[in-house]
Amino acid sequence: MKKILFSLYTCSLAAITYGGEANDWGYEANNAPEKWASLSEKYHACSGLNQSPIDIKNTTSAKLEPLKFNYTAKTQSIINNGHTVQVNFNDGNNLTLDGKEFVLKQFHLHSPSENKINGISYPMEMHLVHANAQGELAVVAIMYKKGENNKSLEQVWKNLPKQVGQDITLNEQVVAANFLPKKLDYYRFNGSLTTPPCTEGVRWIVLKNIQSASEAQLNAFTQLLSHPNNRPVQPVNARMILE
């Protein structure tokens, strides 16, 4: 049993740390999202009943605990893995959730947004991906709309790696706390990673406070990938969405 748990933990960490560098899945043609589950036995979970992203609607009112972020550590590197741009962090950024401590491993971006809120899709979505010592995962999602220039994103945009596989060490350090809105009201649901291996059992936190990014910033990311990198919304099935 311990070996199985260790294997699942290793698989999950590989997915969140390296953002799915495998080239056997993608967003277009024969390796598009609707085919992920059939591409490999490793991706069988992609056909599960508790998949992400979802359209957040028909929510249930609940007394959700306040989010407790302790983000003190800075960035390590930024990589273009062909599926997204991912910023990796040194240990030291923690989220306390359900009485457990989750460590921020990385954040990455999707355009357009993967999750929807009451049917609305946003130009971009950030996923801050956390893991605890038991290998459990928690993802905090932040939506971006077109508006004013975003100073926090500006730091990342200065170092956007243009080539697939390019990994840049960040000299100008990025503080994760700068990306969090002042108001931390949120939706919560049980889901999965939105890329293969589509591991389920992920705690999803989608912040209600929508952030702004300039048209130039949004275009810089979409042009870098040259194609959308959002998985379509998945059936909610029997899950509850809390707010």
The rounded distance, in Å, linking the Cα atoms of 69 and 3 is 32
Catalytic residue among 44, 83, 127, 130: 83
Would you say the C-alpha torsion 90, 95, 101, 104 has a positive or negative sign? negative
83 is catalytic: yes
The rounded distance, in Å, linking the Cα atoms of 6 and 12 is 10
CA torsion 103-95-237-54 (nearest 10°) is: -90
Q: Residues of 126-162 as b/e, b for ≥16 C-beta within 10 angstroms?
A: bbbbbbbeebbbbbbbbbbeeeeebebbebbbebebe
Any residues with CB less than 8 A from the CB of 121 and at least 6 apart, and which?
Answer: 112, 113
Active site residues: 83
